[in-house]
Amino acid sequence: MQKLNIFLSYILLFLLSGITIAAQPPAEKWEYHFPLEINPKVSGSFGEIRSNHFHSGLDITTQGKTGLPVFSADDGFVSRISVSSGGFGKALYIDHPSGYTTVYAHLESFSPVLDSLVLALQYQNESFSVNKYLAPGQYPVNRGEVVAFSGNSGSSGGPHLHFEVRVTEGQKPIDPLVFSTPVRDNVRPHISGIKVYPLSRGASINGLHQPQYYPAVFYDGAFHLKNSPDIKATGTIGVGIEVLDYYSGSWRKCGIHSIDLTANGDSVFSYIMDGFYFHDTRFVNSHIDYAEKMTSGRSIQKSFVEQYNSIDLYEFNAQRGKITMEPGVVSQFSYLVKDVTGNYSSLNFQIEGDRFLSADSGAESSQQHIDAGSPFFFEQTGHLVIMKQGTFYTDVTGQIYVRESFISESGSVFSVLDKTIPVHNGFEIRFPLSDSIETSGLCGAVLDGNLKPQYAGGEVVGSEFVINSRVCGDFLLVKDTLAPVLYLKNQPYHNNYMSRKRMIVRLKDDFSGIAGYNCSIDDQWALFEYDAKNNELICYFEKVPFLTKGTHILSIEVSDNAGNKEVLETSFSF
């Protein structure tokens, strides 16, 4: 083992030596080498609406294959290497003198020298996960140099390369297609429909106090509302649009670059996806109609901006994109949407101001009103909700209450508003614990749409169980006492792996999920790569430098988030 450590330390010292290259401000124009030398087909666009985030790069399909060479976009140096079981999986970051950083994610492997560096770090830290920042010049690369090979690692849903361009200063992602690339796009954006929202007290759409959706159709070179509906509205309203884009040669649904809304020729709202910071990406849940997304799956992008949505993507009128309707006055609305290549689509429609109806009865007395600009505290029978300022994007009204439940370990379900209300900053839920509750294996849970408990984390703090959540819903306490399940996949006869290049271990957990694992061969830490989406631990024998021919003892210990552990021990020959 001592010889192994000396060898790995030598590799690290050799690979981490280098010279310093000064960073430069971003170039106004930049022509980079495209990272794949294939006919590119886009399966995911920059700024596309994703769950809880805007997509930060360009997804390029790799023809259903892995192992395609990935080329450095320009001269520069490797500034970071990351390896994880989820997220980007195996990812490489390269800083360029142009002032940009390029990112290559979901890789199968790195170049041989970088793979050696990663392997040395994994054994040094006894961890599959790696997150190593490198100083300028420690690993220089040339434009067009093969730096990695495409894969399907991390949270990837299929073989592809996730490619990003970031402004190095601040690591702000921008659209890789604003530069000259081989990606071709001559397809106009597709407008599926609009949604009109009553936003002030008593406001209505065609006599109803709920939002109304109107589908769109295409003819005569433009989009139109289907059947030319009469739309009448009172009070202050907002409008949203359901729109998506396609690229040439692909039917994958992608995101839009810009949205402009005018009323009677005056600008009401403008949105341009020209880049964002990662700390702002969760504002996507305010950008879209979150409730609609949760209930129907539609991604409707709102053309009005809630008070506590502060992402820098918008320009709007004095009412943040809202419009006040006047009785008898017809307003002419016009949408213009564009993709990053400049293809565009339009939609014109009108809304007539209606006579003001009597206001709705408003919230029931049992409902709570939460001022999004202030902290909020609620207590019932020892159950607490604690919310900080900025938990929500706008003021919220809904029910918070405790009810009895025979499936909850505490005998109670804590209902906190509704799951269709988006949460920006997490809030705290506290359950009181009686002396009779056994805390071993105790977990927080939230009920899904089928009233089935889903793991929500949490921990025992004194005489309370505390859950930190970024979703609303019905919370309860459950027990997870089942350890993870482990077994060898495709186990050879007599565990003889002499003719194989790898060993695969299947691992699954019943509820709380895998928290960690440790693998050893002959009492020495051995690298097993964790593929979380496929529930597999994979040992590539060539990445176990001390493994020799003969019989060996394998030991794997896996724990879940509830503290349950399982151990697999077996002998094998190699």
Taking residues 119-128, what's their average pLDDT? 98
Q: In this structure, are 250 and 101 located in the same domain? A: no
Phi, psi values for residue 572, rounded to 5°: -150, 160
Confidence of residue 24 (pLDDT cuts 50, 70, 90): low
395-407 pLDDT, tens digit per residue, is: 999 999 999 999 9
pLDDT at residue 512 tops 80: yes
Q: In this structure, are 384 and 472 located in the same domain? A: yes
Domain assignment present for 362: no
Q: In this structure, are 332 and 457 located in the same domain? A: no
pLDDT of residue 355: 84
Radius of gyration of the chain (CA): 28
Q: In this structure, are 169 and 230 located in the same domain? A: no
Q: In this structure, are 173 and 24 located in the same domain? A: yes
Q: In this structure, are 269 and 152 located in the same domain? A: no
Q: Which amino acid is at 145?
A: E
Q: Which domain holds residue 292?
A: 190-353
Domain assignment present for 149: yes
Q: Which tokens go with 190?
A: 């597709």
Q: In this structure, are 339 and 381 located in the same domain? A: no
In this predicted structure, which of 5-9, 65-69, 446-450, 474-478 has the lowest mean pLDDT? 5-9
pLDDT of residue 21: 40
Kindly state the percentage of the chain with pLDDT values over 70. Answer: 94
Kindly state the percentage of the chain with pLDDT values over 90. Answer: 91
Q: In this structure, are 324 and 449 located in the same domain? A: no
Phi-psi region of 31 (alpha: psi -120 to 50; beta: other; left: phi over 0): beta
CATH at residue 509 = 2.60.40.10
Q: In this structure, are 335 and 405 located in the same domain? A: no
pLDDT at residue 6 tops 60: no
- Mean of the per-residue pLDDT values of the chain: 94
Q: Per DSSP, which regions of 423-492 are E strands?
A: 427-432, 442-447, 453-457, 459-461, 464-469, 473-479, 485-488
CATH at residue 466 = 2.60.220.30
Beta-carbon count within 10 A of 492 CB: 14
- Give, as one character, the DSSP assignment of residue 245: B
pLDDT at residue 313 tops 60: yes
Q: In this structure, are 325 and 409 located in the same domain? A: no
Q: In this structure, are 147 and 113 located in the same domain? A: yes
Work out how many domains the chain is built from and give that number. Answer: 4
| β-sheet bridge partners, residue 464 | 432, 461
Q: In this structure, are 69 and 146 located in the same domain? A: yes
67-91 pLDDT, tens digit per residue, is: 999 999 999 999 999 999 999 999 9
320-353 pLDDT, tens digit per residue, is: 999 999 999 999 999 999 999 999 999 999 999 9
Domain assignment present for 184: no
Phi, psi values for residue 464, rounded to 5°: -130, 155
176-208 pLDDT, tens digit per residue, is: 999 999 999 999 999 999 999 999 999 999 999
* 564 vs 13, higher pLDDT: 564
pLDDT of residue 10: 44
Taking residues 13-29, what's their average pLDDT? 53
Confidence of residue 460 (pLDDT cuts 50, 70, 90): very high
203-260 pLDDT, tens digit per residue, is: 999 999 999 999 999 999 999 999 999 999 999 999 999 999 999 988 899 999 999 9
Alpha-carbon 215 to chain mean position: 28
